[in-house]
Amino acid sequence: MDKKITHKEPVNVLVVGVGGQGVIMVSKVLATICQEHGYQVKQSEVHGMAKRGGGVFSHVRFGEQVYSPTIPKGSVDVLLALEWAEALRWVNHIRPGEGTFISDTQHIVPPFACRNRKRGAEAGYARETSDQIISRVNKGFALDATTMARELGNERAANTVLLGLLSTTLEFSEDVWCDAISRFVPPKTVDVNLQAFEQGRAWAAMDHGTPEPVVHNDGPTPVVVGREEHEMSDFVQLDINPAWCKSCDICVKMCPERCLKLDDQLKAVLTDPDRCTGCRICEWLCPDLAITVHRTPEAARAAAQG
Amino acid sequence: MAKKKQSAETSGPKEFDVMSYLRRDLFPHFLCPGCGHGIALRALMWAAHELGLDKDKIAIVSGIGCSGRLGAYVDANTFHTTHGRPLAYATGLKLARPDLHVIVITGDGDCLAIGGNHLIHACRRNLDITCMMLNNEVYGMTGGQVSPTTSQDRYTTTTPTGNTEATFDSCKLAEAAGASFVGREVTVQTPTLKNLLKDAIDHKGFSFVEVISDCTEIYGRKNDLGNSPEMILSQKSQMRPDSYGGVIVDEPFRPNALPTGVLTRSDRAEYGETYRSTMASSKKGA
Amino acid sequence: MAKASTKTNAQNLQGNNACALAAVAAGCRFYAGYPITPSSEVAERMSLELPKVDGTFIQMEDEIASMGAILGASMGGVKSMTATSGPGFSLKQENLGYGVIAEVPCVIINVMRGGPSTGMPTRPAQGDVMQARWGTHGDHQIIVISPASVSEVYEQTVRAFNLAEQFRTPVVLLIDEVIGHLVETVHVPDPASLDVVDRKWADVAADKYRPYEAGKDMVPAMARPGDGYRVHTTGLTHDESGFPTQDPETVDRVSKRLLNKFDPHRKVIDHFEELNVKDAEVLIVSYGISARAARGAVKQARDAGIKAGLFRPVTIWPFPEKALVKAAKKAKRILVAEMNAGQLSLEVERVLGRDRVSGVNRIDGEAISPADIIDAIGKGA
């Protein structure tokens, strides 16, 4: 078992991620446990404007006496990141030589990382690998918690996997954690969350040797749908800008020909160009303005010939 | 009707490409996945395109909230003003610059709650402004609080036991206040929405268009309304589209259905012109 | 009448009417307002004057809308103004802040009355000095002018427009009920003889234009809708491109430019009157209607052998601190005479220290009289 962090001075846990991942839930669980143990706790967070996909962070500080609600730079004892780029954004806040780094390796490319207007342009995303980062911190865990949770049946429990890891760095007993998690997750998901928590603890106990390279570190694969990649129908050309697509599924569900799908990056792609009639429904209904249907000159000629 | 048509006839209608109306370097936009506001934005640009409006002469005035941010994505003169006040700014702008096509993009909270007074007086005054109100029944930007159009019994972060307040029918409100053009459409009927917006922009006088939009991520999730495709489809089923341009008839099978299409259209005198002509004649008389 | 030249036209004018005439002379072509005592005459006169010059007058549905409308008109490229009093001024504050951050020139007339709240609508006061300075939220700079006579209302209204245009900022004119309703003979200058400043318009190629990029003068050129620039204007903190930013370094840079915008121009902005300050041992600091009593008090005190002087800031914000320090060099006592419980005196204390400064205040709806000031001079002696 790992050494417990001393609690005389305030213990600083920084939980970061993007909107919708459960940063606030994680910090609430932690803050509640601390508070129920008689510690003074301060939890201060930035959210609200941080809609789905925007950066969210939450400072949790506990100790006998805590004054400042926020953690000074360089004083983070545990950085718990639910998303890789957010982890990197905050890694410099970890207490040099002492702090612990825990991060999911999953990538959620934020909208502002896609500034290049060129179709199919690669999104700007952190290139650092997990071993590069872990070599910079005292103790680091980088794991694919999202896949672990997905295999358990609920991807959204990734945050609880990470809580499992966090629990091994703090003094509170396993029962206390399980009890708090059961209270804060939706009732239907208690079981899967408790399993996820156990997996996180088990992962921490395993000897990982040198950290594994990050599985998903290729950045989003540009998905260009056009004449180059696909044999398109002579009549229409469908351009889908993956950097703008937010995976809402509208085009997939509304396409009368059922020739669109979300790929493994959850970006819309054309599966069967021959079936696409160029009806434009996907274009009209794309809330992200990511789909453009080009009716080619051939189409115009065909229409003129009747 | 040809009041604002400029280049459409001369250059021939080009195929609409929304990209030419966008500030593309700001994309992807900040809206949540599945947010209907993006669809409405496309419909608005499409309408402007078909009317052949000159981008230099389009002024988009918006307020605060998710709807308020839309203007920034349009390659036009865009004004992101204060909460609830876009109609007040637009009134000043239109009176000072009658040559501009002033289009207000606002939301249900922006337009009906904090800005309700400006809406009714803008309707009454009948200045040539188009007001597109995106109704997603919730304050999305602040995290999902109840709004004046939240349906009864729906859950929001400030109605933890379901909304107990009554709901505004914004089109009836606009009509009663004297708007000379009132319409409503859902986002999923994009071409129809485009036509409605086209009519609204082309209308001389104050035009009010309520766009039924969806907030999937916050409101939809909280009320189990399904994901985006389901939400926009169910909105369509809650509407009564037979009223477009025609007489609204009660449909006993869907008593709560809201009518869509053009709900009011009259040729009441436009305020700016009335003011200017009255002042010009008083000057001559003096 | 001695000074009246062929270029002026002597008229008996009420303060509020003088304000309206001056606005039109300064190029104001849009007025939006809401009726409120004691400022309504400004609106009434504007509704008569603006149509004569093809301008537009509109009475809006409320105070907030009036402020929004003048900002909208000004963003459309037309000089605009509104007039109000304390309660209405409070309602305008959020949009006033928009004018500050989006750098929209406009003029707000506040004919001050007793407060807080409805207070005394028909009684004078000078209680909005701090509201004018700090009414809108957040750190900001603003220009506030307080005239002391009807002639000065005319001059300073023209100047308010010029400053608003030159520095792309809202300018507040703090008149009080007495001056607003006072009728005096004003030598109305020939509009053609007036120095009228227009804002700097963008004249670079549209792809080179950055809406909030300023040169040495720290004031960016403005784009007129329809001229092909198609810019974005927002009340969010924005960078030079006009689009919102939260990058700390950028925010710091753009906020500081906004906060320091007036610094290189203080010679133009600062405006004050000095009376017998050189050897003054008792220096009265006063502005607006109270300064007129102070002038009388200085004279009476001098007649009685007391070395009294008057320092009257006309531009009260930004506060002319350098000039005050100079004027107060010999002064053993500083008396700040104002019709509030002590607002500008806080600023005087900040500049000169608290030891020498005391206030002559009235908050009973009655103007300060020379006798009040003489009493105060006597008490300290």
Residue range A259-283: mean pLDDT, rounded? 89
* pLDDT tens figures, B16-60: 889 999 999 999 999 999 999 999 999 999 999 999 999 999 999
Residue A133 confidence class, pLDDT cut points 50, 70, 90: confident
Please give the pLDDT value at position A91. Answer: 87
Residue-by-residue DSSP string for A120-185: TPPPP-----HHHHHTTSSEEEEE-HHHHHHHHT-GGGHHHHHHHHHHTTSSS-HHHHHHHHHHHS
The answer to whether residue C345 is domain-embedded is: yes
Does residue C240 form part of some domain?
Answer: no
Q: Is A103 helix (H, G, I), strand (E, B) or coil?
A: strand
Q: Comparing A194 with A140, which gets the higher pLDDT? A: A194
Radius of gyration of chain C (CA): 21
Out of C149, C165, C193, a domain closes at C193
pLDDT, tens digit, 9 for 90 and up, residues A101-123: 999 988 776 555 544 444 455 55
Give the structural domain span for C315: 272-380
Query: Is 0.90 exceeded by the ipTM?
Result: yes
Task: Find which of C234, C236, C243 to mutate to test the B interface (most B CBs within 10 Å of its CB).
Answer: C234
Q: Tell me: do C72 and C181 sit in the same domain.
A: yes
Is C219 part of any domain?
Answer: no
Q: What is the pLDDT along chain C (381 residues), one digit of tens a residue?
A: 344 445 568 889 999 999 999 999 999 999 999 999 999 999 999 999 999 999 999 999 999 999 999 999 999 999 999 999 999 999 999 999 999 999 999 999 999 999 899 999 989 999 999 999 999 999 999 999 999 999 999 999 999 999 999 999 999 999 999 999 999 989 999 888 899 999 999 999 999 999 999 999 999 999 999 999 999 999 999 999 999 999 999 999 999 999 999 999 999 999 999 999 999 999 999 999 999 999 999 999 999 999 999 999 999 999 999 999 999 999 999 999 999 999 999 999 999 999 999 999 999 999 999 999 999 998 865
- Residue A73 has a pLDDT of 85
Residue A230 binned pLDDT confidence (cut-offs 50, 70, 90): very low
- Architecture, CATH, for domain A11-205: 3-Layer(aba) Sandwich (3.40)
Interface-testing mutation among B26, B74, B85, B124, with chain C (most C C-beta atoms within 10 A): B85
**Among 1.10.10.520, 1.20.1090.10, 3.40.470.10, 3.40.50.970, what is the CATH number of B22-285?**
3.40.50.970
Angle separating helix axes B86-96 and B116-125, nearest 10 degrees? 30
Chain B residues near residue A249 by CB distance under 8 angstroms: 34, 227-229
pLDDT band for position B154 (cuts 50, 70, 90): very high
Residue B69 confidence (pLDDT) above 90 = yes
Cβ within 8 Å of C, B 6-65: 23, 26, 55-57, 59, 61
Just give the CATH number of A236-305: 3.30.70.20
**pLDDT value of position A140:** 86
Pair C189, C60 in one domain: yes
Whole-number pLDDT of residue A128: 74
Count of domains observed in chain C:
2
Q: Is the pLDDT of residue A287 over 60?
A: yes
- Residue B35's closest chain A neighbor by CA? A287
**Which of A250, A261, A286 is the best substitution to test chain B (most B C-beta atoms within 10 A)?**
A250
Residues of C with CB under 8 A from a CB of B: 29-30, 32, 51-52, 54, 56, 58, 60-62, 64-78, 80, 94-95, 98, 225-236, 243-244
Global pTM reads 0.84
Q: What is the pLDDT of residue A200?
A: 92
Q: Do C187 and C277 have their domain in common? A: no
Q: Which of B231, B240, B251 is nearest to B184 (CA)?
A: B240
DSSP state of C224: P
Tally of helices (H runs) and strands (E runs) in chain A: 10, 10
What is the residue whose two structure tokens read 């001389």?
B204
Q: Tell me the pLDDT tens digit for each residue of A74-107.
A: 889 999 999 888 888 888 889 888 889 999 988 7
CATH number at residue C57: 3.40.50.970
Instruction: Name all chains with 3 or more CB-CB pairs below 8 Å to chain B.
Output: A, C
Distances (CA, A) of C16 to A107, C110, C173, C194: 64, 10, 11, 20
C95 neighbourhood in chain B, CB within 8 Å: 82, 85
Choose the closest CB to B33 out of A114, A243, A247.
A247
In chain A, where the domains are located: 11-205, 236-305
What confidence score (pLDDT) does residue A98 get? 86
